[in-house]
Amino acid sequence: MIKLSELYSGKAKTVFKTDDPEKLIMEFRDSLTAFDGKKKSEAPKKGYYNAQIAAKLLTLLEDKGIKTHYDSMMSDTEMIVDAVEIIKIEVIVRNIAAGSLVKKYPFKTGQKINPPILVFDYKSDEHGDPMINDDIALALGLATRPELLEIRKLALLINSILVDYLDAKNILLPDFKLEFGRRKGTIVLADEISCDTCRFWDKATGESLDKDVFRFDKGDLVAAYREVARRIVPEIFELT
Ligand code: 5GP
pLDDT at residue number 239? 62
The DSSP line for 87-151 is -SEEEEEEEE--THHHHHSS--TT-EEEEEEEEEEE--GGGT--EE-HHHHHHTTSS-HHHHHHH
pLDDT at residue number 240? 57
Q: What are the pLDDT tens digits along the chain (240 aa)? A: 999 999 999 999 999 999 999 999 999 999 999 988 899 999 999 999 999 999 999 999 999 999 999 999 999 999 999 999 999 999 999 999 999 999 999 999 999 999 999 999 999 999 999 999 999 999 999 999 999 999 999 999 999 999 999 999 999 999 999 999 999 999 999 999 999 999 999 999 999 999 999 999 999 999 999 999 999 999 999 865
pTM value is: 0.97
Ligand 1 center–CA 21 separation, angstroms: 30
Q: Which atom of ligand 1 is the closest one to the Cα of 100? A: 3
Is the CB–ligand 1 distance for residue 198 below 6 Å?
A: yes
pLDDT at residue number 153? 98
Is the CB–ligand 1 distance for residue 196 below 6 Å?
A: yes
Q: Which atom of ligand 1 is the closest one to the Cα of 175? A: 10
Q: Which residues contact 213 (CB under 8 A, 6 or more apart)?
A: 219, 220, 221, 224
Pocket test for ligand 1, best of 92, 117, 198, 228 (most atoms within 8 A of CB): 92
> Whose Cα sits closest to atom 3 in ligand 1?
99
CA angle 75, 79, 85 (to 5 degrees): 160
